[in-house]
Chains A and B, each alone.
Chain A
Amino acid sequence: MELTRREFLKLCSASAVGMGISQLVVPEVVEALEKAAAGKPPVIWIQGASCAGCSISLLNTAHPSIAEVLLKVISLEYHPNVMASSGELAFSYLDIIADKAKGEFFLVVEGAVPTNDNGVYCTMGEKDGKEVTFLETVQTLGAKAKAILAVGDCAAFGGIPAGKPNPTGCKPVSEVVTGVPIINIPGCPSHPDWIVGTVVHVLLFGLPALDDKARPKIFFAETIHQNCPNFSYFNEGKFATKLGEKGCLLQLGCKGPMSNSDCPLRKWNNGANWCIGAGAPCIGCSSAGFIDGMSPFYSALPKELWPKKESEMV
């Protein structure tokens, strides 16, 4: 009845659709990647004050498919939504794998870290009859990790649960762990290409170049506004004044000028669409200011924050 790894890989290649890691890595690199991942680096993925949306988003990775990511790129040792085991079997395995792969594993943190009242607002599991908080887990595992990937706005910057008045004292990972390299991969949710692309970069080329907010420059160097298909409307001074009108969406509250990400070029869900493509203003969900710096979402940015038209630039 038990399925061998070889049999499973066979099933996998029969049903996986599409091959190759597009956009970031050329197809020839795939072989090198598989070789680099031969010892498949262990990944521990934990969730705190989160909605699991970044995990769900990761499942939407198209090339490589999520099956290929799990079988050929990484060894996902712990993930609360995916793993077969439960309870003590699962939770004790977390310590076993972290000690076994100390200094070698990557810790992915999804969700902010509640710190008020000693972190009681989020517990991870029970050890020796005592609840273990997420705060404690992030700190303990973080200290043993090779690097931490703070995936999504909540882990990277605090995100939704850290919105005013931040009732649980939620903090980003970078404020509770020190001494370990941390890469912020924001977005609400984070784009699967940003997550997979960062992992692949680390495996093939080491840590990617980061900006001043510890985000990989390959994905977050430019603003949404710079690459927006409505950019020419903006230059012409043609602004939509209500939903559905043609024109730049700045007056409807678009936060594109404040938001760094390659959404307009990459789009979402295997290229199906993206926010401005659906007629909606950008709400700045990949920005460090999400949500307090971006809400109210449908109110125009103050004029002093508006970008310059091309004709005004010298």
Chain B
Amino acid sequence: MATQKIVIDPVTRIEGHLKMTVEVDDGKITDAYSSGTLWRGIEVILKGRDPRDAQHITQRICGVCPIGHATASSLCLDDAFKVITPDNGRIIRNLILGSNIIQSHILHFYHLAALDYVVGPDVAPFIPRYKGDYRLPKKINDVCVSHYLQALHMRMKAHEMGAIFGGKMPHQVAMTPGGVTVQPSVDKIASFLWRLRELQAFINDMYIPDVLAVAEVYDDYKTIGVGYKNLLAYGVFPLDSAGKTKLLKAGRYTEKRILTMDPRKITEDVKFSWYKDSTSGKNPASGATEPEPEKPEAYSWLKAPRYDGKPYEVGPLARMWVNDDYRQGISVIDRHAARALETKKIADAMEEWLLQLKPGEPVWAECAVPESGEGMGLTEAARGALGHWIKISGKKIENYQAVVPTTWNACPRDDKGVRGPIEEAMVGTPIVDPDNPFEIVRIIRSFDPCLACAVHLIKPNGEMKKFRVV
């Protein structure tokens, strides 16, 4: 039987612009190509600006996970400015980031992923849709649709929490080098706490049970979309000012072992990306990137990041796995399950942090833009490991770069022709009906790709002398 090609362009219900091409032989996927189709050049735009502006500009890389970028950027600037954020500032940053991860996870399951499993009503935007493999009994389906609506309201509340301390969401204004601009007044703490409790009830009573209900009926997806079984986390939510301990620590999992993570072992290949070949294989801190839109063998605006030469999956499953909070398996269903359980873990921790705030004590440590310096900020966005690097000279940004989660997950092949994690997760999957390729979109969405984040120019700087892993 001849090879059949299936192109899904655009892949919707993700953030950003993604195209997926798969080849099918005898009803099974034999190969896959993942293409990011938007490039804005945010790091080019950052060059020459006041370093303090980076926090504001980089969070506009993505409207779904702006706080991941704001956090990475603030840590990166703290590092370059050599300033230690006081406890209030650290905790408020954690609370704003936590609020955004909760809203992102809820949004992802109900509003981005669920319509692959749940049948919506026969009105736009729920029609048109793929026909066929919807398996939930009507009663459970109706409950999930009702929760789809409830979840719209709850994610809005999570954004309100972020805005209480961040000023507004998306795109908060409070994070700044040295801490935050906002005081933790008692009224803010109270209005945050009561919203958080509503969210905790929603997570426990609806979100987690709904994921389990879907998992039960679609249990074949516990063996679909497995991929490389390489997992990587940078760690997130510092629990002390130096960032020595975190709610979710850094680490990686490969060949069935848990290992440490060293950011100097990250490289990025561009053989199959629309960038000049001369920039391939470098550490983000020492490489260079120049677009070449006509490059013949390339098929994506994403580069191909590798750790010690190997592709790694990032995201909630990687974080929960590395921290021994979830070890059920690696698959489409496991990604959704780990994401839901992580939401609970973060929400419960936030309740504790909120009560550690000390009204009236400093939120910010005074600091100034250095004449020159370098910095690195590593954290986790909702959808996985996120790093920012800066080089400052003459009090201006000489170079700035971000390596984002979806670049890890949705990247094209590397220079050796080794597929990216989502591409690999496709291979071997049986396609029941090529006209309604549920399997492909379910695998893609389980990674929660965010292409606006992934596709930007990386304009790196000189050798990194020191690293701060936060």
> Residues on A close to B: CB < 8 A?
1-5, 7-8, 11-12, 14-17, 42, 47-57, 59-60, 62, 65-67, 70-71, 75-91, 93, 114, 117, 120-126, 131, 134, 160-161, 163-168, 170, 188-189, 242-244, 268-270, 272-280, 283, 285, 291, 295-299
Contact of B125 among A82, A168, A277, A296 (CB under 8 A): A82
Apart from A1-B138, A60-B156: 14 A-B pairs, beta carbons within 8 A = A3-B141, A7-B121, A16-B153, A49-B40, A53-B64, A67-B152, A86-B441, A88-B7, A126-B9, A167-B45, A278-B172, A280-B167, A291-B57, A295-B50
Closest to B66 in A: A53
Contact check, B10 vs A125: say whether CB atoms are below 8 A apart. yes
Contact check, B15 vs A165: say whether CB atoms are below 8 A apart. no
Interface string of B1-21 (1 = CB under 8 A from A): 000000111111111110100
A168 to B107 CA separation, bound complex (whole angstroms): 30
Give how many A-B residue pairs fall within 8 Å (CB-CB). 296
Residues on the B chain within 8 Å of A14, using CB: 146
Contact check, A51 vs B63: say whether CB atoms are below 8 A apart. yes
Closest to A270 in B: B160
Contact (A60, B173) CB under 8 Å given A125-B9, A161-B41 = no
Interface string of B124-148 (1 = CB under 8 A from A): 1111111000101110011001100
Contact check, A160 vs B42: say whether CB atoms are below 8 A apart. yes
Residues on the B chain within 8 Å of A268, using CB: 163, 167-169
Contact of A1 among B49, B134, B149, B183 (CB under 8 A): B134
In the A-B complex, the 8 residue pairs with the closest CB atoms: A53-B63, A278-B167, A167-B41, A8-B121, A268-B168, A296-B50, A269-B163, A87-B8
Contact check, B19 vs A126: say whether CB atoms are below 8 A apart. yes
- Contact of B258 with A by CB under 8 A: no
A24 to B280 CA separation, bound complex (whole angstroms): 54
Contact (A270, B170) CB under 8 Å given A75-B124, A279-B181 = no
- Please report which residues of chain B, range 90-136, place their CB below 8 angstroms from some CB of chain A when the two chains form the complex: 107, 111-112, 115, 119-130, 134, 136
Contact (A165, B45) CB under 8 Å given A54-B63, A84-B127, A87-B11 = yes
Contact check, B123 vs A75: say whether CB atoms are below 8 A apart. yes
A56 to B159 CA separation, bound complex (whole angstroms): 10
Residues on the B chain within 8 Å of A66, using CB: 152, 156
Contact (A244, B364) CB under 8 Å given A56-B170, A275-B173, A295-B50 = yes
Within the complex, the shortest CB–CB distance from A42 to chain B, in Å, comes to: 8
A62 to B152 CA separation, bound complex (whole angstroms): 10
- Contact of B366 with A by CB under 8 A: yes
Contact check, B164 vs A272: say whether CB atoms are below 8 A apart. yes
Interface string of B161-179 (1 = CB under 8 A from A): 1111111111111101000
Residues on the A chain within 8 Å of B149, using CB: 11-12, 15-16, 67
Residues on the B chain within 8 Å of A114, using CB: 39-40
Residues on the A chain within 8 Å of B120, using CB: 3, 8, 84
Contact (A11, B142) CB under 8 Å given A167-B41, A273-B163, A298-B50 = yes
Residues on the B chain within 8 Å of A79, using CB: 125
